[in-house]
Amino acid sequence: MLIEPFAGETVGSVYRRLATRNAVPMGELWTTIRHARPRLPLRTTPELVPRLVEELADLPPGFFYGRRSDRLFVRCIHTNWRHSNCPTCAPLPSAVTKCRRCTAGEPVEVRTRIGAVCARHRRWHYAGADRDLARSADFVRAERCLTGTLWERGIGPDTGELELATTLIRAGDLRQEDESHRPALECHYPEAVRLVALTTETWAERFLTNTNVGPIQVAALVEAAVNAVTGGTSHDVDAVRASFRAEGREAVIGLDRPVRFRYGRSSGLDELGRRILKFAPRVRAILLRHTDARKPPARRPRPSSRRAQR
């Protein structure tokens, strides 16, 4: 018996559902495969034989190669170093669990242009979760920003920036010290997405790449940005944009601007800023990661040539 595949479904997800549908334990199915291919490892690893899984599931060849529209944008030589979903260089995003209402209750993993929120069912589906959303309008807006603006900057749910943003937002809130990333992201998703969006805009990129900008200035920027997205208004967000400028050899921070509304201080770093300062180099590296240029991969078989390589 076959399964109905979802767009962008992963090899592992198709394999698992195929085994379940046919009431065959996954290990047993793997043993059968290994009879024909004795060089495969003992451990069940269908990811090693995507072509074979395509055949077993009666999927069109190249199914697991994915769709271009699902690829995360990268900067590469083929588009003159602008961000694009170049069919040669752009990778598929990491696997994400799909909304259970969309899959009629089945656990399904896909690598497509989605984040953590199902807008249709107003559900949180990140990392196997399946919960109703309370502030659903904020979450749906964040999801749209992640799969739109951020995606086109090369930022996906698991490329590191959202995890960093969640850590930074929580650095301002001492009450939630021992939460792990996944539940923390569920609490702070709208703010985390806003923080990533703000701190990866062109002016921020220019500020963070400027060699005259030091760790204290990085911490000042991030502190102001965290304050603006968590407690501020759109006016405060604009003030952050206007306050941190780095042009050529000059790095200018407009400290007279009302970016420190949370503590009402006008100079120096506040408590949050001092905490951010401790991981300023990492902050800088992660916020600039999406600007890295990508070399074309040495070898990536195209769907048309895959059958020949079997």
Catalog residues that contact Zn ion under the rule CB under 5 A.
Answer: 76, 78, 86, 88-89, 99, 101-102, 118, 120-121
Q: 83 or 262: whose CB is closer to Zn ion?
A: 83
We find the least distance from the C-beta atom of residue 222 to Zn ion, in angstroms, to be: 31
Q: 33 or 86: whose CB is closer to Zn ion?
A: 86
Contact yes or no for 139/190 (Cβ under 8 A): yes
We find the least distance from the C-beta atom of residue 159 to Zn ion, in angstroms, to be: 18
Q: 76 or 219: whose CB is closer to Zn ion?
A: 76
Contact yes or no for 110/9 (Cβ under 8 A): yes
Contact yes or no for 84/74 (Cβ under 8 A): yes
Which residue in 237, 148, 235 sits closest to 191, CA to CA?
237
We find the least distance from the C-beta atom of residue 89 to Zn ion, in angstroms, to be: 3
Q: 194 or 294: whose CB is closer to Zn ion?
A: 294
Alpha carbon distance, N-terminus to C-terminus of the chain: 24
Angle at which helices 271-278 and 161-171 cross, to 10°: 140
Q: b/e for 238-256, b at 16 or more Cβ within 10 A?
A: ebbbebbebeeeebebeee
Handedness of CA 14, 15, 21, 22 (dihedral sign): positive
Q: 68 or 278: whose CB is closer to Zn ion?
A: 68
We find the least distance from the C-beta atom of residue 109 to Zn ion, in angstroms, to be: 15
Ranges of beta strands (E only) in the chain are 74-76, 83-84, 96-97, 109-110, 117-118, 123-124, 131-132, 244-247, 250-253, 293-294
We find the least distance from the C-beta atom of residue 184 to Zn ion, in angstroms, to be: 23
Q: 57 or 99: whose CB is closer to Zn ion?
A: 99
We find the least distance from the C-beta atom of residue 54 to Zn ion, in angstroms, to be: 25
Using a 10 angstrom Cβ sphere, with 0-12 exposed, 13-18 middle and 19 or more buried, the burial of residue 306 is: middle
State how far the Cα of 3 lies from the Cα of 17, in Å rounded to an integer: 7
* CB half-sphere exposure, 42, CA atoms < 13 A: 0
We find the least distance from the C-beta atom of residue 294 to Zn ion, in angstroms, to be: 7
Q: 45 or 88: whose CB is closer to Zn ion?
A: 88
